[in-house]
């Protein structure tokens, strides 16, 4: 039996849930399972290619078929497994990966799909479920790094993404580092002491504001400042001079490469969950020319990252998940683009608790449907939770006295990829 439980109890065990429902429990005092994991703190890196990477130009190539596109399939480091020629570096690391070729989800629009996928497509319980990063931040012990548990590296602006936390409340939101840059506090000349004094004044104002009002907004506000303060003590994490030229070259100079390198540094420093987002993978036009340009931007740094995590022994502790909200249509449209395709697509996993060198599921010869072992995003949430040591069937969120499953209770993990 396991559950995450900290000072603000949103998670509780099945036993506790039963006790609560029976009216037996007053305060929820539960052993913190995260304590048991602390000696080997599990972390997660989610790489999110927003818009939808083509499975046919990546993990599930179908050369020579009706919808297969013009590119070749190349052998990987696992005998018999081929990937697209647009992934030459990752192809040599397939023995470190678990590739799922049979993702079958529901939404074919970004507006619904992105949120639903990142929240694990929960059954409607009348609440907004947290994104995976917020869920992990809530369910796992944060460790002793003193760093914010959930960091998003993305193009564009920085900020605090309170909405990621859903019903868990703003404090489990994400600290977003625009373009991987540190929060603005770290970029100027303000001293830590002066900032502490300012924060003390702010906390006093927050406490006054909180009186008689709901906590959620203030929690989010404070969470944002606290995260920034924690990072202020770790300025070296953003010190470019500590990155070697060789590292920069291996990851590449484009945003995704730089952001994945920054993600590795944050994971090394102990951040619990890092999400690296890259936008504009939605190749409705010129899919093949675009994928020629886009795939190297994930291929090379992804391979470098797997190598680095492996060499540092971090693949034992870090779960890596590379995915989009859906794949792309097998059918090629009038602009030589591929549209949205939730019916049959691929993702890759690696690292802690994940088998290495396996390919799960199969699509039909034309790539338009899943032929074997269909999996939905709920299965992926189960799998990641399992890989980090959380048992979804025994762990629940508590919200307004209601026990809520942390992942779809009609689904389970992708057993074939769990080590």
Partner 1 sequence: MRIDADPSKAWEMKSFKHDRILTTCKFGPSGDALFAGSFDGKIYRWATESGERSVVGSHVTWISAILPGPANRIYSADFQGNVHAWELGKPEAAWTIERAHPGWLKAFAISPDGTLLATGARDGVVRLWKAADGTPVKELKGHARDVYSAAFHPDGRSLASGDYDGKILHWDVASGTLVRTLEAPSLVTRDPDFLCDVGGVRALAFDGKGGRLAASGLRDAKSNTFCPGAPSAIVFDWETGKPMTTVKVKDEKIDGAMTALRFLADGTLVGCAEGQSYGAISFWKPGQAEPFHTINSQSLYEVDVRPDGMALVGAAFTSIGSGGNGRGKGDYVPNGGTLRLFGLFEKPAAPKPPPKTPAPKKQG
State the first-to-last Cα distance of the chain, in angstroms, to the nearest integer. 19
Q: Is 244 exposed, middle or buried (0-12, 13-18, 19+ CB in 10 A)?
A: exposed
Return the range that interacts with partner 1 (CB under 8 A); candidates 27-35, 239-247, 263-271, 281-289.
281-289
283 is an interface residue for partner 1 by CB under 8 A: yes
Return the range that interacts with partner 1 (CB under 8 A); candidates 96-104, 217-225, 329-337, 399-407.
329-337
d(CA 154, CA 175) in angstroms, rounded, equals: 11
| Count of residues touching partner 1 (by CB under 8 A) | 45
Nearer to partner 1, 289 or 419 (CB): 289
Torsion region of 179: left, alpha or beta (phi above 0 gives left; psi -120 to 50 gives alpha): left
Site for partner 1 in 125-164 (CB under 8 A): 155
331 is an interface residue for partner 1 by CB under 8 A: yes
- Cα-trace Rg, the chain: 21
Query: CA 329 from chain center: how many Å?
Result: 24
71 is an interface residue for partner 1 by CB under 8 A: yes
374 is an interface residue for partner 1 by CB under 8 A: no
CA dihedral 325, 331, 336, 339 (to 10 degrees): -20
From 8, 67, 125, 355, residue interacting with partner 1 (rule: CB under 8 A): 67
CA dihedral 92, 282, 412, 5 (to 10 degrees): 100
From 136, 290, 358, 417, residue interacting with partner 1 (rule: CB under 8 A): 290
320 is an interface residue for partner 1 by CB under 8 A: no
- Provide, rounded to whole angstroms, the least separation between the CB of residue 331 and partner 1: 6
- DSSP label of 375: B
- Provide, rounded to whole angstroms, the least separation between the CB of residue 323 and partner 1: 17
Neighbours of 247 (CB within 10 A): 15
Q: Structure tokens of 324?
A: 């989009």
d(CA 63, CA 81) in angstroms, rounded, equals: 14
Residue 74 vs residues 63, 101, 250, 294: alpha-carbon distances, Å? 10, 16, 21, 18
181 is an interface residue for partner 1 by CB under 8 A: no
Tell me phi and psi for residue 275, to 5 degrees: -115, 130
Nearer to partner 1, 237 or 288 (CB): 288
Return the range that interacts with partner 1 (CB under 8 A); candidates 188-196, 314-322, 326-334, 375-383.
326-334
Q: Structure tokens of 224?
A: 């944002």
d(CA 21, CA 17) in angstroms, rounded, equals: 6
Site for partner 1 in 76-115 (CB under 8 A): 85, 108-109
Task: Pick the closest to residue 345 from 91, 69, 54 (CA basis).
Answer: 54
239 is an interface residue for partner 1 by CB under 8 A: no
Nearer to partner 1, 8 or 279 (CB): 279
Return the range that interacts with partner 1 (CB under 8 A); candidates 227-235, 306-314, 325-333, 396-404.
325-333
- Provide, rounded to whole angstroms, the least separation between the CB of residue 47 and partner 1: 14
339 is an interface residue for partner 1 by CB under 8 A: yes
Return the range that interacts with partner 1 (CB under 8 A); candidates 54-62, 65-73, 200-208, 393-401.
65-73
Return the range that interacts with partner 1 (CB under 8 A); candidates 70-78, 137-145, 214-222, 316-324.
70-78
Query: Which residues of the shown chain bind partner 1 in the complex (CB under 8 A)?
Result: 51, 63-64, 66-67, 69-72, 85, 108-109, 155, 254, 278-286, 288, 290, 292-294, 297, 329-337, 339-343, 366, 368
């Amino acid at each position: 039996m396991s559950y995450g439980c900290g000072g603000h109890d949103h998670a509780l065990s099945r036993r506790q849930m039963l006790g609560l429902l029976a009216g037996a429990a007053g305060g929820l005092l539960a052993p913190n399972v995260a304590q048991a994991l602390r000696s080997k703190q599990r972390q997660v890196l989610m790489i999110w290619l927003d818009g939808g990477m083509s499975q046919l130009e990546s993990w599930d190539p179908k050369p020579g078929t009706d919808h297969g596109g013009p590119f070749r399939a190349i052998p990987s480091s696992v005998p018999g497994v081929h990937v697209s020629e647009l992934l030459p570096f990752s192809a040599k690391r397939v023995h470190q990966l678990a590739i799922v070729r049979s993702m079958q989800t529901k939404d074919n629009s970004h507006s619904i799909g992105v949120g639903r996928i990142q929240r694990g497509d929960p059954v409607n319980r009348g609440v907004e479920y947290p994104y995976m990063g917020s869920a992990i931040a809530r369910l796992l012990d944060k460790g002793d790094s003193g760093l914010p548990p959930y960091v998003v590296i993305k193009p564009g602006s920085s900020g605090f993404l309170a909405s990621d936390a859903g019903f868990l409340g703003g404090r489990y939101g994400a600290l977003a580092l625009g373009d991987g840059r540190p929060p603005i506090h770290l970029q100027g000349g303000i001293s830590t002491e002066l900032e502490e004094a300012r924060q003390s004044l702010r906390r006093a104002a927050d406490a006054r504001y909180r009186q008689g009002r709901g906590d959620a907004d203030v929690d989010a506000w404070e969470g944002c400042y606290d995260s920034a303060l924690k990072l202020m003590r770790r300025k070296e994490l953003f010190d470019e001079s500590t990155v070697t030229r060789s590292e920069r070259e291996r990851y590449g100079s484009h945003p995704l490469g730089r952001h994945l390198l920054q993600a590795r540094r944050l994971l090394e420093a102990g951040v619990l969950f890092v999400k690296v987002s890259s936008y504009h993978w939605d190749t409705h036009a010129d899919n093949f020319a675009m994928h020629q340009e886009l795939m190297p931007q994930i291929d090379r740094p992804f391979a470098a990252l797997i190598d680095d995590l492996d060499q540092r022994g971090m693949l034992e502790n870090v779960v890596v998940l590379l995915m989009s909200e859906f794949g792309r249509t097998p059918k090629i449209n009038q602009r030589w683009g591929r549209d949205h395709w939730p019916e049959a697509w691929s993702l890759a996993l690696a690292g802690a608790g994940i088998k290495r060198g396996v390919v799960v599921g199969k699509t039909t010869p034309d790539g338009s449907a899943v032929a074997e072992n269909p999996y939905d995003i709920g299965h992926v949430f189960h799998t990641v939770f399992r890989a980090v040591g959380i048992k979804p069937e025994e762990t629940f969120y508590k919200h307004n006295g209601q026990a809520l499953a942390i992942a779809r209770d009609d689904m389970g993990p992708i057993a074939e990829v769990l080590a």
